[in-house]
Chain A
């Protein structure tokens, strides 16, 4: 039955990215990986000290924007379940617009960082976090646009709602990914390792 159900295929694209990004970020956060990189950074004297750490504010701002988009998508999905087609179209459409706004914010944030890609591993980690955010936002834009268009055409409605549901779940996950990034950049800034080995010379131990 599902063989001919092309739309189902696409829904799985969504759930696939869901699982996939779950794993990716699982590999991203554990201590000893990216944190090691951050830890060793701030205390290595051979590199010029990083001008400043990124302000954590923008991370939370963008996160809130994404949460808004997610909430709108959920609203759309709920509306669809209740049979309120206009609500669905409204939710999906606004969600799409808010996601675009988030992408713009994200871009502004990256272009105003006080450091470049080559400024140590903290900068690298933060930039890649933002890059992953941007990637997620692009996916969301794609999905949001799809849901919006399909809702308008009546392809998603009271009886055929699982794509909206999958999109909502996926957006919830993306919000979690964003909050992970925000937490990392807020609470794990200064390295606890104050006495690292210095590369290139021997220390008498």
Chain B
């Protein structure tokens, strides 16, 4: 820290802490900025940019296929204007600009941005407190999940009504694309966003994230990206699936720009969030929290951030190249001009496969984090859990081409990629072993979060086993591009990912909101969606086995029955999710007030007060024991020894 003369003191939990010399004046414009000014700025700049571009673009401008370019330019300008204007309006640029001119934000301002004494208003501002950001992430993610879930219901409705066509093919394609990418984005942040931001700093005994303003930046970039994605639905949509393979994407209407800019902005947001989480975890663990004393959830979030950090720029660059193809007429992916479609596929899947682990690892880590609490026993073989996560991370970068077995890109490469893909089942197996070992002989305290964990393990087994077929080239030759794949990744991303997220929300709900999640309604919701989930996707497996391709609007009558069942199941999921949502909303508004540690957990985040004070801990904690130190000494040891002795006697005397 600086050795400058102290001119100001600040009160932290009643203790006056000397502050370094301040270089800027307190107050200023940023105190008056909030979500509202962000909206105003975004809309205003978008309007100006769009209007200006419309005037400036010569009406004769057209692309190679003589389609007028004006809508492209205007839409691009509008979207860019929206992002910049929104970030400007919410105050994201204040800090960097003040950094450049050398008048830093004062301590008073930093506290103001931390949401001190702001009450509920802090949820609508560029707030840096990690807990506020966590809650904001939670809300945005739930909204996006709801939107994508609604699309899922529409898709299943269309597929279930085999006798008629509800939607036009282009709208249907646009729905599946938007559903896919919205779900992927929502699931990527579903755990690392709310729980990673809210829980991780507390779990490692820190006062906040390492870079609180980056934290706010990543959140609001994400918020700025979501409307762009939704707006693309109204601009002709993303008719190319979530993977928007080129060159199909270059045929798409201007809505594709919304997708591309969303991804570009979202990738920046993810990279910022990842760096922030990783730095926090690396440098801000409490005193005494060595790596062997760090909870497994922290490992999971770290791994997920690491993978997100290296994987996302590939995707981002793929989209930048696609954007420049579309807007400037370059030809990265246009085979007519020497581009390559395989280039896009490679870049895309270089993101694509690490990305599914970005989603799954945190939810697996949640499962492992919760089990010790509810089984009242330590995590079985902590080292293996870490080894499993490390193994997945290490292999995740080398498996991308298993999405490309059937593309003919490089048939000889199928052999090594099959090897690496099937090798990944070994570290994943470690995680299963840890789960089983932790369940072994445990007293189950049957509460809602634990039930969700059971659901996760069950779904993950099915998803994992079906993944073995897909990782194998000969079997994939049949399954690739069929409904089987769809069912498989729904089992992984939804069955393991989303249910893991539900487990996490249910578990951390008391800490995050200060209230207890209604156990009865929540359980009904959970089990309803679980049953609906099995019905939907197991019958989707059947459709895939019969040979139904994915992303089809219409199909042979032989697939009717499995699609009907699947649709019924989807409605059950929908109802279940609504019940779970109702449980969350009602409990949040008027649930029972939670004590600071309702689960009797031993990890750090439960040791502080609820609701959590601004800087989490009055005194930074010191960690003195391994995590999950339950059951020490073994309460059943004597009993078991007696059984063993008894058996030994019988066997030995035989």
Contacts and interface: CB of A to CB of B under 8 A. Distances in A.
Q: Do A and B come into direct contact in the complex, CB within 8 Å?
A: yes
B318 to A, nearest CB: 8
A166 to B, nearest CB: 12
Contact of A12 (B101, B208, B268, B276): B276
A121 B339 contact: yes
Contact of A120 (B23, B211, B312, B338): B338
Given A4-B19, A10-B95, A128-B330, A19 B343 contact: no
B265 interface: no
B342 interface: yes
Contact of B330 (A6, A24, A127): A127
Interface in A88-129: 117-125, 127-128
Contacts of B330: 117-118, 121, 123-124, 127-128
Nearest to A10: B99
B276 A46 contact: no
Interface stretch (A36-44, A55-63, A68-76, A170-178): A36-44
Nearest to A41: B338
A153 B110 contact: no
Interface string B294-321: 0000000000000001101110110011
B102 A117 contact: no
A3 interface: yes
B100 A6 contact: no
A146 B97 CA distance: 9
B377 interface: no
B551 to A, nearest CB: 25
A32 B279 contact: no
Nearest to A7: B104
Given A13-B214, A117-B329, A120-B331, A37 B309 contact: no
B337 A3 contact: no
Contacts of A125: 332
Given A6-B104, A27-B314, A32-B346, A124 B309 contact: no
B23 A153 contact: yes
Contacts of B334: 121
A13 B23 contact: no
For the complex, would chain A's binding face be called helix, strand, loop or mixed by DSSP majority?
helix
Contacts of B19: 4
Nearest to B284: A2
A125 B339 CA distance: 10
Q: Which of B3, B100, B276, B325 has the most A CB atoms < 10 Å from its CB?
A: B100
A32 B172 CA distance: 34
Interface in A1-58: 1-10, 12-13, 15-16, 19-20, 23-24, 26-28, 32-34, 36-37, 40-42, 44, 46-47
B98 to A, nearest CB: 8
Contacts of A127: 328, 330
Contacts of A24: 313, 316-317
Nearest to B309: A19
A149 interface: yes
B314 A120 contact: no
Interface string B267-303: 0100110011001000010000000000000000000
Contacts of A153: 23, 102
Contact of A146 (B100, B213, B312, B338): B100
Nearest to B100: A146
B208 A3 contact: yes
Nearest to B413: A32
B252 to A, nearest CB: 19
A6 B110 contact: yes
Contacts of B583: none
Q: Which of A20, A34, A42 has the most B CB atoms < 10 Å from its CB?
A: A20
Contact of B615 (A3, A6, A13): A3
A146 B329 CA distance: 36
Given A12-B214, A13-B96, A40-B340, A121 B331 contact: yes
Nearest to B105: A6
B432 interface: no
B488 interface: no
Contacts of A199: 335-336
Given A2-B210, A4-B110, A13-B214, A121 B102 contact: no
Nearest to B615: A3
B214 A16 contact: yes
A27 B332 contact: no
A6 B208 CA distance: 13
Interface string B438-453: 0000000000000000
Given A4-B19, A142-B100, 17 more contacts: A1-B1, A8-B210, A16-B275, A20-B268, A27-B313, A32-B346, A33-B343, A33-B347, A37-B339, A37-B343, A117-B328, A118-B331, A118-B337, A120-B338, A121-B330, A124-B325, A124-B339
14 contacts: A12-B210, A19-B309, A23-B310, A23-B313, A24-B316, A26-B310, A32-B346, A33-B346, A33-B347, A37-B340, A41-B338, A46-B336, A119-B337, A142-B100
3 A-B pairs with the lowest CB-CB distances in the bound complex, closest first: A124-B330, A41-B338, A121-B338
Interface of A: 1-10, 12-13, 15-16, 19-20, 23-24, 26-28, 32-34, 36-37, 40-42, 44, 46-47, 117-125, 127-128, 131, 142, 145-146, 149-150, 152-153, 155, 159-160, 199
Interface of B: 1-3, 10, 19, 23, 64, 95-96, 99-102, 104-105, 107, 110-111, 114, 207-208, 210-214, 268, 271-272, 275-276, 279, 284, 309-310, 312-314, 316-317, 320-321, 324-325, 328-332, 334-340, 342-343, 346-347, 350, 615
